[in-house]
Amino acid sequence: MAAIELKTREEIELVRESAIIVSKTLGMLAAEIKPGITSLKLDQLAETFIRDHEAKPGFLGLYNFPNTLCVSPNAQVVHGIPNKIPLCEGDVISIDCGALKNGFYGDHAYTFAVGDITPEVKKLLEVTKASLYKGIETFRAENRLGDMGYAIQSFCENEGYGVVRELVGHGLGRMMHEGPEVPNYGKRGKGKKFQDGMVLAIEPMINGGTHRIKQLKDGWTILTADGKASAHFEHNVALVDGKPELLSTFQYVYAALGIKSDEELPFRKEPLLI
């Protein structure tokens, strides 16, 4: 992984601009996700939307990935390739999206329910998202990477879930993947100390059962080894004056879905964006 690049206040604002384009893209998709629509259609909508915002899809062509979105239903963890299979009632679908504007990337993800889902899977989504904020809470100048990993891991394992080891969060900026690697597991007090100017993509990938994964022959798709569902939520966060500041937002998704949430308020200086 590339070096850690500490960002100036101006550079952080440029990451925010790209992250918010992704946030709006996820919000647009939230209104489209229903039984019958295909992930390829969602991908096309996202590409058009991002280009209409004078940005480029961040994943398209990156490491030769063929699409704008990674779309990973049910037992797929991440890196699923959009296809023509219609979504079904009861599916869950993790959508990860990147955008590049002014030379800086945004990169975030949300796991959506397609219609009604089982209480078991609903809980997996809720716990995974809550673990993302547990991780963000630890992103403070006095802490280290291991504190963040420990917070996410202990919270999810306490519910009996599996924390994926092979895939991790990362630094974000002029490159989609900068240092440091940001594992969703770790030991308190270990690892690199957080510093002002760090911008991280924090992204718990949590399985309903075992933490073990396998990969499809397409060379991309990661899925759970036991076939149980997986969830993935990702935010982009800067360390400013020793404290975490959210650059991305789920507020556009929540507006589309009619969800009320104040989960982001502790990590924002400004009031709600929309």
> At closest approach, how far in Å is the CB of 257 from Mg ion?
20
Tokens in use for 213?
A: 């994964």
Which C-beta is closer to Mg ion: that of 109 or that of 198? 109
Rounded Cα–Cα distance for residues 155 and 192 (Å): 21
CA distances from residue 268 to 3, 132, 244 in whole angstroms, order as listed: 27, 15, 8
Among the candidate windows 16-24, 101-109, 110-118, 149-157, which touches Mg ion by CB under 5 A? 101-109
Q: Largest alpha-carbon pair distance within the chain?
A: 48
Which C-beta is closer to Mg ion: that of 165 or that of 188? 165
Q: Which of residues 220-239 bind Mg ion (CB under 5 A)?
A: 234
Unique residue bearing structure tokens 């009031």: 271
Query: What binding mask, one character per residue, do residues 70-99 give for Mg ion by CB under 5 A, x or -?
Result: --------------------------x---
Residue 178 engages Mg ion in binding (rule: CB under 5 A): no
User: Using CB atoms within 10 A of its CB, is residue 208 exposed (0-12), middle (13-18) or buried (19+)?
Assistant: buried
Which C-beta is closer to Mg ion: that of 69 or that of 87? 69
Which C-beta is closer to Mg ion: that of 110 or that of 150? 110
Q: Which of residues 2-41 bind Mg ion (CB under 5 A)?
A: none
Rounded Cα–Cα distance for residues 171 and 177 (Å): 6
By CB under 5 A, name the binding residues for Mg ion.
Answer: 96, 107, 109, 201, 234
